[in-house]
C-alpha cells in the first residue's frame, strides 16, 4: 500500500492519478482560454526607455523637457549624403517637399540644418574672415560666373571656358588659374565616357583647394520627420519608414545617382530592435526545441515522458503568458524573457518528477503508485524550491527597474503555474500515455568513486573552491558594466549604423545634454558657464541663431552684391541652345584648349570635349545632366548668400524657434560633448561636468549614465531583499541555520565564479544579460534545496542517486535551451544566451561537486 499523500504537491498528484482524464480536459480548456486571451491581448514595447520607472529623478527631468517641447518626442531622422554638396542639397529639398505633402504618414517635416533661412543667412554664421574670403572668391570668379549665369547650359559652360582661355591668350591671366576647373571637368567627363559613376561640384571649385571653403555646403543634410505611429503594431513606425523609402525611390535618390538616404532616430531604432529580435527567431526556436527534446530523452529514456513534460511546459507557458498580460498589460524587452525562464524552471520540475517516477517504476511500482511515491519524496523540495524562486523574482518589485520588476511579476507567477501543472497535468499525461518500465537503473552507480572522493577529500575540494572564490572576488573590480542601451542594438542595422556614423560627426553628435532655463537671461548665463567647461564642445540656445558681428559682415556682403548683381542676374539671359549650338561651342573650346597642349589638364579637357562633340546626342544629354543642375544650384546658392539681411530673434523661423523656446515659459539650452563617439567614460565625464552646474539636466548622455546607475541599484537592492526573504523561508522550513547556509553558499559561489569568468572572456554585463543572475539564483536555489533536503533525510552517495541525474539533465536542458539564444541576431539577446550558459555551467558544477563536498556524509541521527 502506498503511503498516504502528505503535503499539497502529493495531494495534487494523488488527485490527478485518480481522475487523469478530468484533469487533462480541465487543463486543456484552461490553456485554450489562456491562449485565446494572449492572442487577442498580446502587446509588446521595444522602447528601451520604458524599462526604467518614470518617477525616478532623472526621468522626471526628462518629462519636464518633453512637456515643454513635445515635438521632440518620437521622430525619424533622415540622413541624406550626396556625392557632391549640390546633390545633397537638391535631394534633401526634393525629399522634404514630398514628405511634407504626405499627411497620411507624417505630422511634421523640418530641416534642422537647411532651408531658406540658412541658405540666405548662412554666411552670417561664419567669421568675418570667412565672409571676406568667400565674397573675394565670388568677385574673383566674376569673369567665369557671368557667362554661366547668362547661359546655364552645356554651351554656356564651354563658352565660359573659351572666354577664360581667350584671356590667357591675351596675357590677361595665367592658365594655372583655371587648372583646377579644367582638371575637375576632365575627370568628370572622362569617367562618364568610360561608363563610371561621375559627379561634378561647382561649389567645390569655389572652395579653397582641398579644404572645405566658405561657399561649399556640406555633403550631408538632415530631415527631421515626426511620423504618425501605429501603436497597435509591433513596429509602430514601419509604415512611415516605408513611405520615406518609397519617396526616395520615386525621386531616384539612390547610390546609382550619387545619393544615399538612411534613417535613424528613436522610431527606426525601436522598430529595428524588434526586427533584430525576430531575425533568426526560427533558428533559435528550432535549436532550443531540439536541445530540449534531446536532453529530456537522455534524462528519461522515454519518448512518452518527453511528450508529457513538453506538453505540460507548453500549457503552463500559455497560461503564464495570459496571466502576465493581465498583470502588466504588455511585455517589454526584459519581461519577455519570462519565456526561457519558465521553460527552464518548468522543465526542471518535470524532470525531477519524471526521473523519480522512472526510479520507482524500476523498483517495481505501478505507474500510479510510482507517481505518488515520487510526489511524496519530492513534494516538499519542489514546493520549497518554487517558493524560493518565486520570492527571488518578486524581490525586484520594489525597484525602479521596471523591465526586471515586470519580469519578476510574470516569472514569480510562472513558478506557481509551473508547479501546479507539474503536480496535476504532468501526472495525468503520464498515466494516459502509459510509458514503459525502464530497463536499466535510473541512478548512476559508476559515479561511486566520485562520491567517495568528494567525501574523503572534502577539505581539498572545498579549499579549491574557496581559492577560486577569492580569485573571483579579487577580479570583481574588473567586471565591466555596460548599460548603454545602444550597445544592445545590432550594429550593422541601418538605424544603428547611421547613428554611430553621426556620433563621430562633431557637428551632429546625438549625445547631447538639454537644460530647461526659465528665461533668456538665465539661459545666457548658463550657456556662458557651460562653455567654460573643457568637456563641452559647444553650447546652443535660441540666441545661437542670431549671428554675431552682423554689421561688418553685412557690409562686406553688400559690397560683393553691388559688384555681382548683374553678373548673377543678367538682364538678357540667352535662350536655350540647340544641340548644334552645343556641339559648335564644344568644338570651339576644344580647339582653344588644344593650343595649350603644354598643360596636361588643358590637353585632357580638349580631348574630352572633342569626344563629347562627336558623340551621339544622348552622351551630351548625360553630360548636361551631370553639369547643369549643380551649376544652377550653385548660382542659386550665391544669389541667396548675397541677399543676407539682419537677423534678430523675431526673424528666426517659427518652426526653428519652437524647438528652443517653450510656448508658455522655458528656454532650451543644449550642451554638446567635445569628445565624439559613444565612449562610456567620455560620456560620464561630460555628464558629471554639466550636472555639477545644472543638476536638473537631461538628454541622451544623462539617460545613458543614470540608467546604468538605476539598474545597478535595482539589482543590489533586489539581491539583498531576495537573499533575506529566501533565507527566512528556508529557515522557516529547515529550522537549521547551517542547512540554510548549505543551500545559499553554492548559489553565491556560482555567482562570483560567473562574474570572474566574464572578466576572463571580456564579456560586459548589460541591460539584457543581467537577467542571467536572477535565473542563476532561482535555478541554483532549487538545485541545492533538492540536495540539502535529500541529505537531511539521510540520503548518502548523492552523485549516484536519481536526484543527481535529474539535476544534471535539468541543468543541461536549461543550459542548452538558453544557450540557443546565443545564435540571435540581437546583440543583447545573444549576450544573454552566453551569460546564461556560463551561469548554468557554474551552477551545475557547484551543485554536483561543491554541494556534496560541503554537505559531507549524513549525520548519525540522519542515517
CA dist., res. 558 & res. 573, Å (int):
23
pLDDT in tens, 383-414: 988 888 888 888 888 888 888 889 889 989 99
Distance CA 269, CA 490 (A): 10
* Region class of 281: left (phi > 0), else alpha (psi between -120 and 50), else beta: alpha
Q: Tens of pLDDT along 426-440?
A: 999 999 999 888 766
Per-residue pLDDT at 441 exceeds 70: no
pLDDT of residue 410: 93
Average pLDDT (571-580) is: 90
Greater confidence (194 vs 213) lies with 194
Q: Confidence class of residue 277 from pLDDT cuts 50, 70 and 90? A: low
pLDDT digits (tens, 9 = 90+) for 810-846: 888 777 767 777 877 778 778 888 888 888 889 889 9
Taking a C-beta distance cutoff of 8 angstroms, is the pair 540, 670 a contact? yes
Contact 394, 412 (CB under 8 A): yes
Three-state SS at 445: helix
- Give me the pLDDT at residue 307, please: 94
> Which among 433, 275, 414 is positioned nearest to 348, based on CA atoms?
414
Question: Highest-confidence range of 210-219, 306-315, 361-370, by mean pLDDT?
Answer: 306-315
State the Cα–Cα distance between residues 275 and 654, nearest whole angstrom: 37
Q: pLDDT at position 2, please?
A: 46
Band (3; pLDDT cuts 50, 70, 90): very low
Confidence band of 213 (pLDDT split at 50, 70, 90): very low
Cell of 180: 583646377
Rounded CA gap, 57 and 115, in Å? 38
Which long-range contacts does 618-626 make (Cβ < 8 Å, 24+ apart)?
A: 619/193, 620/154, 620/579, 620/582, 620/583, 622/192, 623/154, 623/189, 623/192, 624/153, 624/154, 626/188, 626/192, 626/198, 626/199, 626/200
Mean pLDDT of 359-381: 90
pLDDT of residue 12: 94
pLDDT on residue 153: 94
The arithmetic mean of pLDDT across residues 729-757, rounded, is 90
| 255-275 residue pLDDT tens | 989 999 999 988 898 888 777
b/e map 525-550, b = 16+ CB within 10 Å: ebbeebeebebbbbbbbbeebbbeeb
Query: What mean pLDDT comes out for the span 517-527?
Result: 93
Q: Is the pLDDT of residue 848 over 80?
A: yes
Q: How far is CA 664 from the centre of its chain?
A: 35
Bridge-based pairing state of the strands 106-110 and 220-227: antiparallel
pLDDT higher than threshold 70 for residue 678: no
pLDDT at 171 over 50: yes
Integer Cα distance of 276 and 281 in angstroms: 9
Residue 232: band (very low, low, confident or very high) from pLDDT cuts 50, 70, 90: low
Label residues 296-334 b or e (16+ Cβ within 10 Å = b).
Answer: beebbbbeebbbbbbbbbebbbbbbbbbbbeebeebbbb
pLDDT score of 262: 96
User: b/e per residue, 339-359, with b = 16+ CB within 10 A?
Assistant: bbbbbbbbbbbbbbbbbbbbb
**pLDDT reading at 632 higher than 50:** yes
What is the structure's pLDDT at 192?
92
What pLDDT score does 210 carry?
45
Interacting residues of 373 by C-beta distance below 8 A, sequence separation 6+:
2, 3, 356, 360, 365
The three-state secondary structure class of 765 is strand
Count of all residues that appear for the chain in the document:
863
Whole-angstrom distance, CA of residue 709 vs CA of residue 640: 50
Q: Residue 312's pLDDT band (boundaries 50, 70, 90)?
A: very high
Average the pLDDT over each of 9-13, 483-487, 730-734, 787-791 and give the range with the smallest value: 483-487
Encode burial over 24-34: b for 16+ CB neighbours within 10 A, e otherwise.
beebeebbeeb
pLDDT at 276: 67
Asked if residues 786 and 385 have their Cβ atoms less than 8 Å apart, the reply is: yes
Closest CA to 786 of 312, 195, 388: 388
Q: What is the pLDDT of residues 90-103, one digit of tens each?
A: 999 999 999 999 99
- Angle, helices 425-433 vs 8-18, to 10°: value is 40
Confidence band, pLDDT 50/70/90 cuts, at residue 337: confident
Q: Is 670 helix (H, G, I), strand (E, B) or coil?
A: strand
- Summary mean pLDDT of the chain: 87
Residue 1: band (very low, low, confident or very high) from pLDDT cuts 50, 70, 90: very low
Q: Is 698 helix (H, G, I), strand (E, B) or coil?
A: strand
Beta-bridge partners for 261: 80
pLDDT tens track for 474-503: 998 998 877 677 777 778 889 888 988 888
pLDDT of residue 736 exceeding 60, the answer is yes
Q: Answer yes or no: are the C-beta atoms of 114 and 250 closer than 8 Å.
A: no
Biggest CA–CA distance in the chain, Å, is 124
Average pLDDT in the 644-670 region? 90
- Name the grid cell of 1: 500500500
Q: Which three cell numbers stand for residue 685?
A: 565625464
Give the Cα-Cα-Cα angle 104, 271, 713 (nearest 5 degrees): 130
pLDDT of residue 863: 44
Q: Worst-scoring range by mean pLDDT, 154-163, 480-489, 512-521, 559-568? A: 480-489
Which residue do the cell numbers 527631468 mark?
61
How far apart are alpha carbons 44 and 330 in whole angstroms?
5
Q: Other CB atoms closer than 10 Å to residue 249's CB: what's the count?
A: 11
Task: Write down the pLDDT at residue 525.
Answer: 95
Q: Which residue shows C-alpha cell 505633402?
A: 101
Residue 555 reports pLDDT greater than 70: yes
C-alpha dihedral, 463 to 464 to 470 to 474, nearest 10°: 160
* Cα separations in angstroms, 316 against 18, 83, 182, 424, 775: 21, 57, 76, 11, 18
The whole-number pLDDT of residue 515 equals 94
* Adjacency order of strands within the sheet including 667-673: 513-517, 667-673, 536-540
Instruction: Look at 206-220, 269-283, 748-762 and tell me which has the smallest mean pLDDT.
Output: 206-220
Written as nine digits, the cell of 475 is 577580479
Cell numbers that stand for 775 in this block: 535565473
Which tens digit of pLDDT belongs to each residue from 47-81? Answer: 666 778 888 888 899 888 888 888 777 889 999 99
**Reported confidence tier of residue 362, pLDDT bands at 50, 70, 90:** confident
The model's pTM is 0.76
In percent, the amount of the chain with pLDDT more than 90 equals: 40
Specify whether the CB–CB gap between 336 and 408 falls below 8 A.
no
pLDDT (0 to 100) of residue 177: 79
What's the pLDDT at 546? 93
- In the prediction, which pLDDT does 464 show? 94
Residues 403 and 335: beta-carbon distance below 8 Å: yes
pLDDT band at 347 (very low <50, low <70, confident <90, very high): confident
Amino acid at each position: 500500500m502506498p503511503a498516504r499523500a502528505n503535503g499539497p504537491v502529493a495531494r495534487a498528484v494523488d488527485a490527478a492519478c485518480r481522475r487523469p482524464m478530468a484533469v487533462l480536459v480541465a487543463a486543456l480548456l484552461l490553456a485554450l482560454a489562456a491562449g485565446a486571451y494572449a492572442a487577442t491581448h498580446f502587446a509588446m514595447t521595444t522602447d528601451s526607455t520604458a524599462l526604467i520607472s518614470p518617477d525616478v529623478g532623472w526621468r522626471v527631468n526628462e518629462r519636464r523637457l518633453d512637456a515643454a517641447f513635445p515635438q521632440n518626442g518620437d521622430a525619424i531622422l533622415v540622413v541624406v549624403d550626396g556625392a557632391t554638396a549640390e546633390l545633397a542639397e537638391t535631394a534633401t529639398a526634393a525629399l522634404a517637399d514630398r514628405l511634407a505633402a504626405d499627411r497620411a504618414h507624417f505630422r511634421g517635416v523640418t530641416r534642422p540644418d537647411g532651408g531658406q533661412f540658412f541658405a540666405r543667412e548662412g554666411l552670417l554664421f561664419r567669421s568675418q574672415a570667412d565672409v571676406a574670403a568667400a565674397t573675394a572668391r565670388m568677385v574673383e570668379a566674376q569673369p567665369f560666373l557671368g557667362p554661366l549665369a547668362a547661359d546655364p547650359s552645356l554651351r554656356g559652360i564651354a563658352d565660359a571656358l573659351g572666354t577664360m582661355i581667350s584671356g590667357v591668350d591675351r596675357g590677361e591671366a595665367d592658365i594655372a588659374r583655371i587648372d583646377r576647373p579644367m582638371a575637375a571637368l576632365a575627370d568628370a567627363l572622362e569617367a562618364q565616357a568610360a561608363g563610371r559613376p561621375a559627379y561634378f561640384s561647382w561649389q567645390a571649385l569655389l572652395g579653397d583647394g582641398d579644404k572645405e571653403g566658405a561657399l561649399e555646403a556640406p555633403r550631408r543634410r538632415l530631415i527631421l520627420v515626426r511620423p504618425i505611429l501605429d501603436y497597435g503594431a509591433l513596429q509602430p513606425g514601419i509604415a512611415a519608414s516605408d513611405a520615406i523609402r518609397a519617396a526616395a525611390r520615386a525621386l531616384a535618390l539612390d547610390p546609382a545617382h550619387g545619393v544615399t538616404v538612411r534613417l535613424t532616430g528613436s522610431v527606426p531604432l525601436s522598430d529595428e530592435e524588434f526586427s533584430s529580435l525576430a531575425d533568426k527567431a526560427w533558428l533559435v526556436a528550432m535549436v532550443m526545441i531540439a536541445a530540449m527534446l534531446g536532453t529530456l530523452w537522455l534524462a528519461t529514456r522515454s519518448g512518452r515522458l518527453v511528450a508529457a513534460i513538453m506538453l505540460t511546459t507548453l500549457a503552463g507557458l500559455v497560461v503564464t503568458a495570459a496571466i502576465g498580460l493581465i498583470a502588466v498589460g504588455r511585455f517589454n524587452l526584459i519581461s519577455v524573457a519570462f519565456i526561457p525562464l519558465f521553460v527552464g524552471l518548468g522543465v526542471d520540475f518535470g524532470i525531477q518528477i519524471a526521473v523519480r517516477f522512472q526510479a520507482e517504476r524500476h523498483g517495481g511500482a505501478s505507474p500510479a503508485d510510482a507517481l505518488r511515491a515520487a510526489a511524496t519524496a519530492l513534494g516538499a523540495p519542489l514546493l520549497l524550491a518554487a517558493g524560493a524562486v518565486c520570492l527571488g523574482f518578486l524581490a525586484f518589485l520594489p525597484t525602479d527597474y521596471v523591465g526586471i520588476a515586470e519580469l519578476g511579476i510574470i516569472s514569480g507567477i510562472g513558478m506557481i503555474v509551473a508547479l501546479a501543472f507539474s503536480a496535476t497535468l504532468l501526472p495525468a499525461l503520464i498515466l494516459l500515455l502509459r510509458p514503459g518500465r525502464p530497463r536499466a537503473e535510473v541512478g548512476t552507480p559508476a559515479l561511486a568513486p566520485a562520491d567517495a572522493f568528494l567525501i574523503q577529500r572534502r577539505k581539498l575540494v572545498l579549499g579549491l573552491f574557496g581559492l577560486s572564490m577569492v580569485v573571483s572576488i579579487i577580479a570583481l573590480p574588473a567586471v565591466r558594466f555596460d548599460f548603454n542601451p545602444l550597445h544592445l542594438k545590432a550594429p550593422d542595422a541601418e538605424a544603428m549604423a547611421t547613428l554611430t556614423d553621426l556620433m563621430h560627426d562633431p557637428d551632429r553628435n546625438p549625445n547631447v545634454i538639454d537644460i530647461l532655463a526659465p528665461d533668456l537671461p538665465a539661459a545666457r548665463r548658463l550657456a556662458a558657464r557651460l562653455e567654460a567647461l573643457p568637456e563641452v564642445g559647444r553650447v546652443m540656445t535660441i540666441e545661437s541663431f542670431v549671428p554675431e558681428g552682423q554689421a561688418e559682415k553685412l557690409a562686406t556682403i553688400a559690397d560683393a552684391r553691388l559688384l555681382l548683381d548683374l553678373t548673377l542676374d543678367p538682364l538678357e539671359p540667352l535662350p536655350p541652345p540647340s544641340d548644334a549650338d552645343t556641339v559648335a561651342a564644344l568644338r570651339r573650346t576644344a580647339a582653344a584648349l588644344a593650343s595649350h597642349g603644354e598643360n596636361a589638364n588643358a590637353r585632357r579637357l580638349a580631348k574630352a570635349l572633342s569626344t563629347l562633340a562627336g558623340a551621339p546626342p544622348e552622351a551630351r544629354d548625360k553630360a548636361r545632366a551631370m553639369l547643369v543642375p549643380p551649376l544652377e544650384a550653385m548660382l542659386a546658392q550665391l544669389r541667396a548668400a548675397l541677399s543676407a539681411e539682419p537677423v534678430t530673434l523675431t526673424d528666426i523661423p517659427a518652426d526653428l524657434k519652437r524647438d528652443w523656446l517653450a510656448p508658455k515659459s522655458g528656454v532650451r539650452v543644449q550642451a554638446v560633448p567635445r569628445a565624439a563617439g559613444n565612449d562610456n567614460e567620455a560620456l560620464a565625464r561630460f555628464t558629471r561636468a554639466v550636472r555639477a552646474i545644472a543638476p536638473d539636466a537631461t538628454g541622451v548622455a544623462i539617460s545613458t549614465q543614470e540608467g546604468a546607475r538605476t539598474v545597478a541599484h535595482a539589482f543590489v537592492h533586489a539581491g539583498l531583499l531576495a537573499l533575506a526573504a529566501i533565507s527566512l523561508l528556508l529557515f522557516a522550513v529547515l529550522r537549521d541555520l547551517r542547512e540554510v547556509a548549505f543551500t545559499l553558499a553554492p548559489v553565491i559561489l556560482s555567482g562570483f565564479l560567473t562574474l570572474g569568468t566574464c572578466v576572463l572572456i571580456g564579456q560586459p554585463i548589460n541591460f539584457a544579460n543581467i537577467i542571467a543572475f536572477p535565473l542563476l539564483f532561482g535555478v541554483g536555489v532549487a538545485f541545492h534545496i533538492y540536495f540539502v533536503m535529500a541529505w537531511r533525510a539521510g540520503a548518502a552517495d548523492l552523485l549516484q542517486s536519481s536526484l543527481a541525474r535529474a539535476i544534471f539533465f535539468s541543468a543541461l536542458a536549461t543550459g542548452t535551451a538558453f544557450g540557443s539564444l546565443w545564435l540571435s541576431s540581437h546583440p543583447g539577446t545573444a549576450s544573454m544566451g552566453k551569460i546564461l550558459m556560463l551561469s548554468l555551467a557554474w551552477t551545475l558544477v557547484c551543485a554536483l561537486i561543491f554541494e556534496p563536498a560541503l554537505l559531507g556524509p549524513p549525520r548519525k541521527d540522519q542515517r
